[in-house]
């Protein structure tokens, strides 16, 4: 069973949206078959509505584009490449992986692209599981606007 089912149920209930653990189990199976159609499913619609209400409530966390000193916030993204490779990644290759090419991640299934960023450059090699015969390529992302996100 998906680890966060009970947290999703509680999260939705907070915004008067009823979802059962059984419905979430069915939704999980739906997403495995149709990973890009989550909001086309009744449970996906309910979850999306809970997220919308959460954002409207002002409870979402905000990652501000400027730090306390007025500097632009910088985030980092890393990719592995073979140490003996002369490959230089393009800007596009350092962005979100193409659909169908990403490996399984913390929040995504195989083939479902997600842009993983960190606010601490040192964390990157540990998050992308660099092998002994690989180097880490790290790029910087400078925030152009505030980002609203939520932690459930």
Tell me the average pLDDT of the chain.
86
pLDDT at residue 130 in the model: 86
Residue 123 has pLDDT above 60, yes or no: yes
Q: What average pLDDT score do residues 102-130 get?
A: 82
Show the beta-strand stretches assigned E in 56-131: 61-63, 74-82
pLDDT at residue 63 in the model: 87
Q: For the stretch 69-88, what's the b/e string if a residue is b when 16 or more beta carbons lie within 10 angstroms of its beta carbon?
A: eeeebebbbbbbeeeeeeee
Q: How far is residue 86's CA from residue 89's CA, in Å, rounded to a whole number?
A: 10
Residue bearing the bigger pLDDT, 61 or 117: 117
Task: Give the whole-number percent of the chain exceeding pLDDT 70.
Answer: 95
pLDDT at residue 1 in the model: 45
Token pair belonging to 119? 């606010």
pTM higher than 0.85: no
Token pair belonging to 25? 């189990």
pLDDT tens digits, 132-145 = 999 999 999 999 99
pLDDT at residue 129 in the model: 82
pLDDT at residue 152 in the model: 52
pLDDT tens digits, 85-110 = 998 999 888 988 777 777 777 677 77
Task: Give the whole-number percent of the chain exceeding pLDDT 90.
Answer: 43
pLDDT at residue 120 in the model: 92
């Amino acid at each position: 069973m998906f680890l966060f089912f009970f947290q999703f149920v509680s999260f939705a209930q907070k915004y008067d949206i009823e979802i059962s653990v059984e419905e979430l189990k069915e939704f999980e199976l739906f997403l495995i078959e149709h990973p890009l159609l989550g909001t086309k499913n009744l449970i996906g619609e309910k979850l999306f509505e809970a997220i919308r209400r959460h954002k409207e409530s002002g409870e979402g966390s905000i990652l501000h584009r400027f730090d306390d000193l007025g500097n632009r916030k910088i985030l980092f993204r890393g990719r592995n490449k073979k140490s003996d490779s002369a490959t230089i990644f393009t800007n596009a290759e350092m962005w979100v992986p193409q659909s169908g090419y990403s490996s399984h991640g913390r929040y995504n299934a195989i083939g479902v692209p997600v842009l993983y960023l960190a606010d601490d450059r040192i964390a990157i090699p540990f998050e992308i599981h660099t092998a002994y015969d690989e180097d880490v390529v790290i790029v910087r992302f400078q925030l152009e606007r505030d980002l609203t996100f939520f932690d459930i």
